[in-house]
A and B are shown apart, each in its own frame.
Chain A
Amino acid sequence: MTKQEARERLMKSAHFPLLQGKVLVRDNVLIQLLEQRASRPQTLPAPLR
């Protein structure tokens, strides 16, 4: 399997499909968070490791 094939398989069932360098979001909770964020100064998320 090539890397490209793996990527194509991922995209077929992606949670957030790609469009012109952006991702498509349907989840209203996430959309709300993204909108709130846009109107607030940005903070980095807490590191996970």
Chain B
Amino acid sequence: MHLDLKRSQPPYASRKRYDGDMWLERLCGLIENADKLILAGGEREGVDFVFEALMTSKTLWLALDAPSAVSSVTQGNLLAETVNRALGSSFLPLALPYTFHVERLKAHQDLLEGYKVFVSNAQLAPGLAESLLSLNCQVVLGWQGDDPPTQICILPKTELVLTFTEASAEAPELPTDTLNNLYKITAGAYLEFHVGLSRLTTNPLPEVPHPSGATLRPIGQEVLADPKKVLDHLLAQGRLIEALEVACLNVPERVESFVGVAGASYQDRGLYEHLFLNLYSLDDRFQTEAVLEWLLVGAVGCSHLNDALPLVETYLDKHKANDLRARYVGLIKDPVRQLEMAEFLATLNPTPLTLFQWGRLHPKAERGVSILKESIRLAETSGRAYEVVRNSGALAEHLLYLGDFSASRTWSEWALRRFDQHDLNDGKRLLRLKNNWAVARMVMGETAGLREELWSLQGALETSLPEVALTYRQTLAELELVEGRVASAQKLAESCVWQASRRFLGQYVVTLVRTLIEQDALSEALHEAEQAYALTEHEPFGQGARLALGMALSALGDPAALPHLEAVMHSNEAAERRCAATLYYLASSGKNAASLPPELLTLFKDVRRSGLVMFSGPATRFQKVWAEVLGDNVPLRIVTLGKPGVYLHGEPVYLSSAKMELLVILALHRGDGLNVEQIQDLMARSGAKQNVRTAMSRLRQYVPISAAPYKLALPYSLDAYEVETLVAAGRFREALALYEGPFLNNSSLSKISDYRAFLEELLREAVLTSDDAEVLYSFAERFDDFEVWEKVSDLFEGLNDPRVAVARARIARLAAEFGDSMNDFQIV
């Protein structure tokens, strides 16, 4: 497809930067209004000059070259850095493939409102170029060579080069013959022409613009420099990625002196293969302990272990090399030897790394926790920020496993904050932290705001990091289940099971079986559980499938469930699985929670209702068990926020909308009861008093109600009042999570709609007084409230939280919408 030049020749307003440059002015005019366009040329044809001329504060300009295009992660880093620079926040983490970022950007289209994307040398990264074309904004690619993306307008090379008239205007002082020759030799390619011109005249050599603001010498005009001197300057400027490469290729004797800082920089940016290649290529004599330590880090990150291990093991045979050995510990296959070595090294020389290894490998989780805490203290005093985050993340994971959900949530959150504050980039570590954080929050009932974040991350991960996406899909399935979207939960859980390796089959099948039980698909649940159990029965990782089987049998009322559930309850399994086994055991055995050993009861200390739903269900069968575990002995439970429901002694009561309204009117009344007139008034009904009495006696068939004045004749709980209590206690996260939707949303009674408005405002006022970024963000996400978004933006700014970009975009959109509505108002 070619651009229709006649159609797109608008009179282009001359700006200063085009002065005297007819070519630039012509091209900018052609490009400015195009939506998606390919310029069939590269540096030689002056594409970068055009991009620079069109650059505004809302431009993402990616200048690809061989090093930045070498892998999907380097391309991802270039894209992330370009976007982050433009948005003024670290919205996109580094160390992830570009596909992740493109999906993130698609999920947050408002962030790129009014932006344009330019890519120089797009042919070096065709996949990235294709993805960027799918963004909903102007995209212009500079493409040198064959096979540009089809279906996109192309400005052919013949139109990209200088016309003779333009060339003459560029070189008015040149004699005609010389000009003719130069034009012919350079074929009118803009940069080539100017390089030639600089040779023939006193004009300086042209400088090729670059998005960084620096300029480059044209290709073919490079300066030859002494690598040692280049290395000195790169180190002085902190350009460690380039420095390590220059040193490895040219000055190997210098590598050891800075491999520690450079290696960490490679790791932070996810450049594992590049790190490995650099250090692996060195001569044996330069592969010292420090070099081999980072060689191992690189090799583990890019599956080159088979190449690296012989080098490392040979070295370890001859040297003590405790730091290298500490890295190597994680790779020892025999668990007994592995733990012995980890303990030996940590005792001999406690460092953030040796303690991290020992703590995370320790078979006694409680001991592991105390070792990991020590590793964090040490990292804080003598380690790197990365080590603080890594060790805190490991601690959060350990605590999650142990069932100390609250502490796990706190440590994950702390690690995430440190990650932002220290401008760390390792996206894979970030994603792992976020997943553990999400799980702990779900268990504790802090689900507000999670869904949007998880969906957006999971969508981005599907195409970029399928193995991480699987974990996110499971977490999302659990959240969907907790929030009542069972079909969606089942779909996600099913896809996890289909794709899981045998090792993780049990873990995923539990979630699938849980969703099937929720839908009463019991034989299907049993079938899935039996299959997974048969595949993993005698494996050390077989407890997940055993739990699934116990759950399915329990749902079918089969006493054969009990031995399976008991086995998991009393095992060393993750707390989530032990909790689930315990709940199904209680439901199946008819025993009460008080009969449980204290170590099992303790597992539930931080678990709220959403956690119970995550582990067990359906509510119709588990309400009694849940009430016992929560210590909630209120006989009548009325749910009005989100999906309404009524539970009497744990059993569901199905009421029509009118009966539900009447029940809620009674529940809202905290006094001595309501008389007939009051009820008539509140229910907005006229007519005979007998009608109220009849309605009341009909409701009484389901729920105990006193004689007039009418009130509920037994203790009850109303979730809306629980929100009020939580707000009063300052427990805003739980209040927000409990507020699943507006108060009895389908009712139009004024008493109910007034209370609905009151509750929302109460929550809003409370949130605005809070300095908890998560509370504010959750509320802003849900209610799209301008004032809250402003507070979120300020708070995130101070915390260096990447979501500041989202907050700013929402504020801009809401301000624009407000502006539009004001305009409408004025017109009217």
Contacts and interface: CB of A to CB of B under 8 A. Distances in A.
Interface in A10-26: 10-16, 18-20, 22-26
A26 B277 contact: no
A49 B277 contact: no
A25 B278 CA distance: 20
Most A-side CB within 10 Å, residue of B225, B227, B283: B225
A34 B231 CA distance: 11
Contacts of A9: 277
A15 B242 contact: yes
Contact of A7 (B219, B249, B260): B249
Given A1-B280, A14-B66, A16-B230, A48 B222 contact: no
Interface string B215-259: 111010011111101101111100001100110111000000110
A22 B226 contact: yes
A42 to B, nearest CB: 9
Given A24-B223, A25-B225, A45 B236 contact: yes
A45 B257 CA distance: 12
B242 A33 contact: no
Given A16-B242, A18-B250, A6 B277 contact: yes
A15 B225 contact: no
Contact of A3 (B69, B214, B250, B282): B282
A28 interface: yes
A48 B231 CA distance: 13
Given A1-B304, A3-B282, A18-B250, A27 B216 contact: yes
Contact of A14 (B208, B234, B249, B307): B249
A14 B216 CA distance: 16
B207 interface: yes
Contacts, number: 110
How would you classify the secondary structure of chain B's contact residues: helix, strand, loop or mixed?
A: helix
Nearest to A10: B277
A24 to B, nearest CB: 4
Contacts of B260: 49
How would you classify the secondary structure of chain A's contact residues: helix, strand, loop or mixed?
A: mixed
Interface residues of A, number: 35
B70 interface: yes
B216 A26 contact: yes
A32 B544 CA distance: 63
Nearest to A37: B229
Nearest to A4: B281
B222 A26 contact: yes
B257 A6 contact: no
B67 interface: yes
A26 B67 CA distance: 14
26 contacts: A3-B281, A3-B282, A6-B281, A7-B249, A10-B248, A10-B249, A10-B278, A13-B66, A18-B249, A20-B224, A23-B224, A23-B225, A23-B226, A24-B224, A25-B223, A25-B224, A26-B216, A27-B214, A28-B207, A30-B234, A31-B217, A33-B233, A34-B229, A34-B230, A44-B232, A45-B232
Interface of A: 1, 3-4, 6-7, 9-16, 18-20, 22-31, 33-34, 37, 44-49
